[in-house]
Structure 1
Amino acid sequence: MTQRVLILGGRGRIGSSVAQDLATHTQAEITITGRSPEIQISDPRWKFLVLDLAEVDKLQSAIASADLVVHCAGPFHYRDANVLKICIEQGVNYVDVSDHRSYTSKALKYHEQAAAAGVTAIVNTGIFPGISNSMVRQGVEQFDTAEKIHLSYLVSGSGGAGVTVMRTTFLGLQHPFDAWIDGKWQTVKPYSQREAVNFLPPYGRTGVYWFDMPETFTLPHAFPSIKTVITKFGSVPDFYNHMTWITAHVFPKWLMHKRGTIEFLAHVSHFLTDVTNNFTGIGVAVRAEVTGQKNGETSIFCSDLLHQNTAMASGSGTGSIAQLLLEGKLNKPGVFPVEEALPTDLFEYIVQSRGIKIYHNWL
């Protein structure tokens, strides 16, 4: 019997990338949703359903007819966990591309209900968070005792994503956040403490800044020996970093807390990146450094990833998890971030199957 996948928010850049990945790697019947009628479907196996997440009865019916739900309808700063709750009630497995700690915290509260229902729910499955978290797990497993995680992300222009991702960036500048540093929670200002990181060519040494990501708090939980988790983000070209810094530190806080301001900044930024994409491309670089003890000595294990299209990389991250669930290769009832759900051998299998190369070296 053909398996059925429901992709909420499937018309967006990330959602459509997930759909394309699943169409390439599975035989599933794919239904994508959006709030307004779709004009054209690019794959004959895709169906389209007009659906607003506020239409609970229609949402329940759509989920009940699916074997797997993939939640791509961000920004997740604004989302409750109702989709996950319905999936658990209907006994349907769940994957999402969530990227904010507020949503991740809400989702993880449903762990026991999901486990009791036999539902596997995996959150934070894109590129960062997502593939980046599995790179960290791979690194942690190299050590007798892992002590520190330093994650750095770099995106060229728009990354091939839409306005929603721009909204996510500016929403992440609204509030200070807690980070796990030296074995205790410390408050950090968003887009602060610029640091030059050596990414793989063509990027080279480029600036990154503190950014609030769910892995800031999920990684210390997954790996209890870790005393410090640093998550930093930067953009190419570099003048975007300076503009974002000004937005985070100079703009009045009351202004940044208005939804209209976020919408304005998101659309202006998307317009600008449409221009600069022609020069910078839309790629992504991820660098994961894990420090720890191995054979009585302190070492650093580095993992680097490059992809020419950020949205496609996110689609591969989420699509690969969805594929494993559909094939029965991943079965872990409960609600988990990807680093707790996906073993390293399966991670290595999925990146190889998608031609994603991760480079490793010791420092």
Structure 2
Amino acid sequence: MARILSMQLSSGISSRITSSIAKEKSETKIELPEKVKNSRVLILGGTGRVGGSTAVALSKFCPDLRIVVGGRNRDKGAAMVAKLGNNSYFSEVDINDSKSLDLALKDVDLVVHTAGPFQQAEKCTVLEAAIQNKTAYLDVCDDTNYSWNIKSYMKKAVDANIPAITTGGIYPGVSNVMAAELVRAAKSESKSDPQRLRFYYYTAGSGGAGPTILSTSFLLLGEEVVAYNKGEKIKLKPYSGMLQIDFGLGIGKKDVFLLNLPEVRSTHEILGVPSVSARFGTAPFFWNWGMIAMSFLPSEFLRDRSKVQQLVQLFDPVVRAVDGIAGEKVSMRVRLLSQFLLSCISSCVIVLHIDPNRLIWSRQMDAIE
């Protein structure tokens, strides 16, 4: 008979932690070192949902920073600047034009690239311009090919003496940190060998990301899913392999489906986990049905950014309307199975919920003999 043992975390707190952080507490200001206090940060895609949220958060956390809202729409840029206040301004920029980027990056200390989608993007023009102008770089890329193309610039970034970070969003990004923490805990706390790690993601409606998540999701349907099974690379059909996953408090059980995401490869190659996969699901449930139906469209169509953008324009008003009913919650569950003492399997899970009003996270670690 299986025996379930409750384990303690290294911090000495219980094996399950739930922390709710009030919205007003999240607005606490951060004191930056004097030498970077007045740094200038360019946010590309700053008039969109992701970039705009980034700009607002930075202005609240670090009000001394000078926020440059980068985008193509002057009216939207002016509206965002009015929201941010006097320590910001708009810069019209085309991320596909090197001269436009060079002009926008002048006297900028950090560029944050949120102008997705990153799928099917052939060139890393923003990073190239950042290296040329010796500007620190961060993106929220969620595409496997693009992220590994970015990594191929490592030597150039080192030679230019600038930090360059890719996949720094929620997932991938925070999810990678969650995975690394689970692997660290397995090796150091339970002295076990990681065997299988699974990423599970859920969003209600657009998850607050606006049309970008629609573009990303549709483009990902045109890519074969890369996963790893006992060290072997395997390819699977997108939005297949449905599992019902319990996302816990406030979310419950949701259906999730396979997608090709960059954290799978990095977890396998860098963290050394033999079996890795990632799944995503949304709500209401009929959006999942729509994604399944769209996965049968020709891959050539789904890889065409212009055609996908037409689909996004068609569906976006409907998604926004449904968001008002379904909400904009995001939840991530990362689970690691590891083996120790030859016969005991350890299951460790981190769950993170994000909604407009609070952040809830938990970690639990059990052993099944």
TM-score (norm 2): 0.81
- 1:11 and 2:39 correspond: no
CA contact (8 A) 2:221 2:299 kept: no
Distance in 1 (CA, whole Å) between partners of 2:270 and 2:282 is: 28
Which residue does 2:128 correspond to in 1? 85
Task: Please show how residues 166-315 of structure 1 align to structure 2 within 5 Å.
Answer: 166-224=214-272, 226-249=273-296, 251-294=297-340, 297-309=344-356
Q: Secondary structure at the match of 1:64?
A: coil
With a CA cutoff of 8 Å and minimum separation of 6, indicate the structure with the bigger relative contact order. Answer: 1
Q: Taking structure 1 as the reference length, what is the TM-score of the superposition?
A: 0.83
Aligned to 1:30: 67
| Structure 2 unmatched ranges of 5 or more | 1-34, 188-192
Distance 1:210 1:64 in 2: 42
* 1:115 correspondence with 2:167: no
Residue pairs, 1:134-173, within 5 angstroms = 134-144=177-187, 145-173=193-221
Of the three residues 166, 169, 173, the one matched with 1:126 is 169
> How far is the alpha carbon of 1:118 from its aligned partner?
2.1
CA distance in 1 between counterparts of 2:252 and 2:298 reads 34
> CA-to-partner distance for each residue in 1:210-250, whole Å, 9 max, x for gaps?
011111211112212x101110000011111111001103x
SS in 1 for 2:251: coil
Alignment-mate amino acid for residue 285 of structure 1 = S
Gap regions ≥5 residues in structure 1: 313-354
- The structure number with the bigger radius of gyration is 2
2:84 alignment counterpart: 43
The root-mean-square deviation of aligned C-alpha atoms, in Å, is 1.8
Deviation at 1:295, TM superposition (A): 5.8
Distance (Å, rounded) in 1 between the aligned partners of 2:134 and 2:213: 30
Q: Secondary structure at the match of 1:39?
A: helix
Following superposition, the deviation at residue 306 of structure 1 comes to 0.6
Deviations 1:234-272 (A, max 9, x none): 0011111111001103x3445434445412332233222
1:130 Cα offset (Å) = 1.1
Q: Secondary structure in 1 aligned to 2:137?
A: strand
Structure with greater helix share of residues: 1
Query: Structure 1, residues 68-112: CA drift from partner, whole Å, max 9, x if none?
Result: 110111111243212112222322211101110121011010112
Identify if the C-alpha distance between structure 1 residues 255 and 81 changes in structure 2 by more than 3 Å, giving closer, same or farther.
closer
Alignment partners' CA distance in 2, 1:20 and 1:247: 35
Q: Is the 8 A contact 1:306 1:357 kept in 2?
A: yes
- Give, in angstroms, the shift of residue 10 of structure 1: 0.7
Q: Name the CA distance, whole Å, in 2 between partners of 1:114 and 1:39.
A: 33
Could you tell me which amino acid in structure 2 is paired with residue 139 of structure 1? Answer: L
CA distance in 2, matches of 1:259, 1:81: 16
SS of alignment partner, residue 91 of structure 1: coil
Describe the shift of the 1:298–1:172 C-alpha distance in structure 2 as closer, same or farther (beyond 3 A): same
Q: How many residues align?
A: 317
Is structure 2 residue 365 aligned with structure 1 residue 362? yes
Question: Does structure 2 retain, via aligned residues, the 8 Å contact 1:200–1:285?
Answer: no
Q: Which shows bigger deviation, 79-88 or 8-17?
A: 79-88
* Aligned sequence identity (%): 28
The structure 2 residue matched to 1:69, chosen from 84, 90, 111, is 111
Match of 1:350 in 2: none
- Counterpart of 1:84, as a letter, is L
CA distance in 1, matches of 2:205, 2:254: 14
Is the 2:139–2:167 Cα contact (8 Å) retained in structure 1? yes
Q: SS where residue 195 of structure 2 aligns?
A: strand
Cα separation, 2, equivalents of 1:222 and 1:70:
24
